[in-house]
Amino acid sequence: MSDEAQLKALRNRIDSIDEKILELISERALCAQTVAQVKQKALPEGEKAVFYRPEREAWVLKHIMELNQGPLDNEEMARLFREIMSACLALEEPLKVAYLGPEGTFTQAAALKHFGHSVISVPMAAIDEIFREVAAGAVQFGVVPVENSTEGAINHTLDSFLEHDMVICGEVELRIHHHLLVGENTKTDKISRVYSHAQSLAQCRKWLDAHYPNVERVAVASNADAAKRVKGEWNSAAIAGDMACELYGLSKIAEKIEDRPDNSTRFLIIGNQKVPPTGDDKTSVIVSMRNKPGALHHLLEPFHTNGIDLTRIETRPSRSGKWTYVFFIDFIGHQHDPLIKDVLEKINDESVALKVLGSYPKAVL
């Protein structure tokens, strides 16, 4: 067979595979629609069904990854299914998700990675506003950054958990790549100012010291905001990611300038919905302790004796008295697991206050 004929035959095969995929996706979407009807029918008149099931979605993605034999890798395959589920869920009910805006931020990228592109994503100007928007019921979920592998905790987010009653329904991790961006009119040899969010400036500190030691570093509300500003200025650059670069039509003069190549940010999904166990979960709690010797030791002991894996511990001022603290603790397991229940009871006895922020599936993607 000639190359030409072979290509034609392969393309014919791809066409007929696509037709089958189309049919199967449509069949899947119809099933999801029927699931919605069944969910709604099971409830008394006037009560609204919960359509989004994070524990089920985590299971579907993991199942696909287990079955996958290549040549596409697991992450790629799961991303495709993430989008299929997102579209199916939108047929049941389009989700509204608030994120730290403006458009083009890493938090928006995290929201789309977690929920897929069929959600309605709503930009908010500040972390606190996301909490308020979810509390008011204007959106079902919010996405907030909580920690960065280079720069540590996002204190605004932690403090917002002290002020609002919010359930954590999920987590998402995003690799953060920063680029130095300029606009059409920027004179690249005359750059005297670099805009970015304080966290991003910090994540690129060494690179800036080495390449632009005398340039003024200006912290602004977000990386997207930084990108927006440079458009109209000839002597400034922005540090931001791919989404902001595309959205504001900028070009990269240096790529991946973050000091640590594994630079990642973890985001939390906040809402009002408690998530049942999947068998591979995390739990987040806030604990306040009496200020006495050995308090932290007593707090951590039940985790140690029960072999529970702590993934994070963070301290913040409690805001209820000078030099008193609260601990944010993340660990592996679900609050409904008998072992975790026991541990939480012990901690409750030892502490001034214990608040379980939520149990949720570990990030799959």
Ligand X SMILES: C=C(O[C@@H]1C=C(C(=O)O)C=C[C@H]1O)C(=O)O
Q: HSE on the CB side for 47, CA within 13 Å?
A: 8
- Residue 126 in contact with residue 225, Cβ under 8 Å? no
Part in contact with ligand X (CB under 6 A); list of ranges 52-60, 175-183, 258-266, 291-299: 52-60
Is the previous residue joined to 213 through a cis bond, with omega within 30 degrees of 0? no
For strands 167-175 and 179-182, give the pairing. Answer: unpaired
Kindly state whether residue 64 participates in binding ligand X, applying the rule CB under 6 A.
no
Report, in Å, the least distance between residue 76 CB and ligand X: 18
Query: Residue 360, interface with ligand X (CB under 6 A)?
Result: no
- Tokens 């204007």: give the residue: 138
For 233-320, strand residue ranges (E) read 236-240, 251-254, 264-271, 281-288, 310-317
Beta-carbon count within 10 A of 43 CB: 11
Q: Which of 57, 225, 330, 337 binds ligand X (CB under 6 A)?
A: 57
In this chain, which residue has its C-beta nearest to ligand X? 88
Based on CB atoms, which residue is closest to ligand X, 79 or 175?
Answer: 79
Q: Does 60 bind ligand X (CB under 6 A)?
A: yes
- Residue among 89 and 237 whose Cβ is closer to ligand X: 89
Report the residue number, 258 or 281, with the smaller CB distance to ligand X. Answer: 281
Taking CB under 6 A as the rule, does residue 32 contact ligand X? Answer: yes
For residues 345 and 69, what is the distance between their CA atoms, to the nearest angstrom?
44
Q: Does 56 bind ligand X (CB under 6 A)?
A: yes
DSSP 222-238: -HHHHHHHHTT-SSEEE
Q: Which is nearer to ligand X, 60 or 218 (CB)?
A: 60
Q: Which is nearer to ligand X, 57 or 133 (CB)?
A: 57
106 touches ligand X by CB under 6 A: no
Helix, strand or coil for residue 126?
coil
- Is 53 a binder of ligand X (CB under 6 A)? yes
Scanning 55-63, 113-121, 231-239, 290-298 for contacts with ligand X by CB under 6 A, the matching segment is 55-63
The three-state secondary structure class of 288 is strand
Site string for ligand X, 76-105 (x = CB under 6 A): ---------x--xx--x-------------
Question: What three-state secondary structure class fits 119?
Answer: coil
Distance CA 272, CA 251 (A): 40
> d(Cα 171, Cα 155) in Å, to the nearest integer?
17
Count of residues engaged in binding ligand X, rule: CB under 6 A: 12
Shorter beta-carbon distance to ligand X: residue 57 or 171: 57
331 near ligand X, judged by CB under 6 A:
no
Rounded CA separation 190/172 (Å) = 39
Nearer to ligand X by C-beta: 78 or 289?
Answer: 78
Q: Report the interface residues with ligand X, using CB under 6 A.
A: 32, 35, 51-53, 56-57, 60, 85, 88-89, 92
